[in-house]
Amino acid sequence: MLSGFKKFVMRGNVVDLAVAVVMGTVFGAVVNALVKDLITPVYAAIVGKPDFSAMVFTVNGSKFLIGDFFNAAIAFLINSLAIYFLVVMPMNALMARLHKGEAPPDPTTKKCPECLSDIPIAAKRCAFCTTALAPR
């Protein structure tokens, strides 16, 4: 019984997933600190710190805390912008720079001249419309 559990835990994808969860948690803490300690004060200095938590409306005795939703939406937007501009864009630029001189891979498919379906490059006949194809 324990050998099966050991085999399950030691599989590569389980260990990779555990590492990804830990790294994601730590990275999330870094991004939240960046937004809370650097970006939000700049935003508050420009437009004033928005706090919509007092916005509430009541229907039949039920309180709808719409202000909390607005606060969460603004926090999400600021976090998303921070991740995009400080992580995604620089990583895309770095990856483009690393792959700059590489040639694109050779195509593995071609278009059938009759039905325009994608077919393997070595095909002699289209699998969809059975048109005979000229060798490439």
Q: Are residues 17 and 60 in the same domain?
A: yes
CB 2 within 8 A of CB 8: no
pLDDT at 50: 63
Q: In which domain, by residue range, is 113 found? A: 104-136
Q: Are residues 128 and 67 in the same domain?
A: no
pLDDT at 68: 83
Single pTM value for the model = 0.53
Q: Are residues 77 and 92 in the same domain?
A: yes
pLDDT > 90 in the chain, percent: 20
Q: Is residue 9 scored above 90 in pLDDT?
A: no
pLDDT band at 136 (very low <50, low <70, confident <90, very high): low
CATH of the domain at 80: 1.10.1200
pLDDT at 53: 76
Looking at every residue in the chain, the average pLDDT score rounds to 84
Q: Are residues 7 and 49 in the same domain?
A: yes
pLDDT > 70 in the chain, percent: 96
Q: Are residues 112 and 80 in the same domain?
A: no
DSSP string, 35-58: IIIIIHHHHHHHH-----TT--EE
Q: Are residues 19 and 85 in the same domain?
A: yes
Alpha carbon distance 41, 95 (integer Å): 32
Query: What stretch of H or E contains 17?
Result: helix 12-34
pLDDT (tens digit, 9 = 90+) per residue, 11-66? Answer: 767 778 888 898 889 888 888 888 778 777 777 777 776 667 778 889 999 999 88
Number of independent structural domains in the chain: 2
